[in-house]
Every structure is written in C-alpha cells, then in structure tokens.
Amino acid sequence: MIRIALPNKGRLADDARALLTDAGLAPVSLTDRALTARLGDDYEALFVRAQDIPEFVADGVVDAGITGLDLVKEAQRPVAECMDLGFGKCRLVVAVREDMVLDRVVDVEPGTRVATAFPRLTARYFAELGVEVDVVPVSGAAEIAPHAGIAPIVVDLTSTGSTLKVNGLREVATILESSARLVIPIGGVPGGPERRVRVEMLAEAMASVLRARERRYMMANVPRAALDRVKEILPGLNGPTVIDILNGGTMVAVHAVVATAAVFRTIADLKSLGAEGILVTRIERLAP
C-alpha cells in the first residue's frame, strides 16, 4: 500500500481531495474524522497537519505528500519537489505598518524585531541581505504583532494582500512565491522499483487532471474548402482531427483540444469561416 500524506484541514486539504477525486482516487474513509482513507486499491491517505508533511516524507513514514512550498522550505527537510500542483498560491512577504517610514528591507535598523510563523525562512532571508534582526516566532497570523507592540515588522503569507491592508500593513518585499507541491524523499521513493512506479503513476494521474483543467475539447462542422485556415485556428495537440460527415456535402467535422483561454477567440474565428454546430466541452483527464 502506497501512503500519501495529505493536509487535514484548510484550503490545501480541500483542493488536494478535489484533485485526487478528479484523478479517480477519491478518499474513502469510515467517518469524517478518520485519520486515514483508502485511495482506490493501491493507495492510502494519511491526514496530518500541512506543516508536518515534509517531516513525514523525509522520515519515510509516507511515500509522498502534498503540502505548500512555503512549508517545505521552512521545514528544511530532505524532500524533493515532484510536481507543482497549481493550487494554494500565496506569497511570503515582509510587511510593516502603513505609517512606518520604510521602503527597502536593507534599510531595516539592526536589532529590529520581526514577528513570523516562518522563523527559518525569515532568518535566512535577512541574513542573506546582511541585515541583523531579532526574529520573534509566533503561531498563527502575525498581523496583530505590530498593533500589540510585539514587533514593528512581520513576515507572513498573503494571497491578495487584502488581509494585510485591512490590518493597517503594507508589503515591502516578497520572500517566496508558494503553491501546493507533491513531494517525495530526496533520494526517491524507497522500497524498490514497484513502489516508485506506483508513485509515478499517482503523479501522472494528477498531472493529467491539471492538464485537462487548462484545455477544452472543441468540435465544429466547417466548410471543406476552409480546412487550411481551420488548421491554423485549431492546431490541437497534433493538429485537428478531420472527419467526413454522412451526407455532409461541402462540410466536414473537426475535433481539437484547445487552451481554455483561447476558446472565446477560437469560436469567433471559426464562425468567420462559416463553421456551424460548434461544441465546447470540458476534459476530465489529458495524458500526452
């Protein structure tokens, strides 16, 4: 049984479950509070705190894990990033009170206190800049620190920056851009080639879902005489599939996979060539 560590709560947990479900590996547990769940016949999920997952992976407790890059970097454990899963995007930033006269991190006064839930990343960042600060570890949100007199500067996660603004803080610098990652032990999955293959199969299943989310399957009836132009509009993966229509006469059917962002323009271009019966549908999985 291949074991995968998953976040036990929060947006990372929800998005990880959704990705696995779309990959055909929906977690099945006896109760909502279960600490483990089956993922199909060959995989088992272990639900733990997101910040503990790098430790579980590095120690070989699990074969792989899903957690944020920020937590991987903070843990400083020997794990390898196998895949960027694209969700849970955020930034680790340096922020100060809006009324504080400071625009560059290098201008921070020596000995200034900096509150953060990421003491290792924070200490390394300031050390690399040659700025001596007093890192104050805090648990949970650090936005309260300047208002409570704990520290005038914070290092915290943000997605849009709105929470910082609401709490009277402004960003000065970005330390790290983070998103969810699939991680494995630094030396690869232990236990022989069969286990490694199964983890690779898991990674490919998730990758196929991520590819599909960025693509749409498009079908249309187009004039046969316009096929050269249609092929320019619908390149697909290896060019569009062209199919004769029964009693179609001058029309043929074309099928292609297109980027989601290009759907609007592609439909307009096809219509300009006289296309009819255009159909766009979602793709569940897309393997190259």
**pLDDT tens-digit profile of 172-213?**
999 999 999 999 998 877 778 888 899 999 999 999 999 999
Q: What is the pLDDT of residue 217?
A: 94
Compute the average pLDDT of residues 18-47.
89
Q: What is the pLDDT of residue 140?
A: 75
Q: Same domain for 76 and 141?
A: no
pLDDT digits (tens, 9 = 90+) for 39-69: 988 899 999 999 999 999 999 999 999 999 9
Q: Compute the mean pLDDT over every residue in the chain, rounded to the nearest whole number.
A: 91
Compute the average pLDDT of residues 241-254.
86
Residue 172 lies in a domain: yes
Residue 287 lies in a domain: no
Compute the average pLDDT of residues 105-128.
94
Q: Same domain for 9 and 69?
A: yes
Q: Same domain for 94 and 82?
A: no
CA distance 135 to 94: 12
DSSP string, the chain: -EEEEEESSHHHHHHHHHHHHHTT--EE-SSTT-SEEEETTTEEEEEE-GGGHHHHHHTTSSSEEEEEHHHHHHHT-SEEEEEE---S-EEEEEEEETTS----GGGSPTTEEEEES-HHHHHHHHHHTT--EEEEE-SS--TTHHHHTS-SEEEEEESSSHHHHHTTEEEEEEEEEE-EEEEEETT--SS-HHHHHHHHHHHHHHHHHHHHHTEEEEEEEEEGGGHHHHHHH--TTTS-EEEEPTT-TTEEEEEEEEEGGGHHHHHHHHHHTT-EEEEEEE-S----
Please give the residue range of the domain that contains residue 101.
90-178
Task: With cut-offs at 50, 70 and 90, classify the pLDDT of residue 100.
Answer: confident
Structurally, the chain folds into a number of domains equal to 3
**End position of a domain, from candidates 178, 203, 230:** 178
Compute the average pLDDT of residues 5-29.
93
Q: Same domain for 192 and 260?
A: no
Q: What is the pLDDT of residue 236?
A: 61
CATH assignment at residue 140: 3.40.190.10
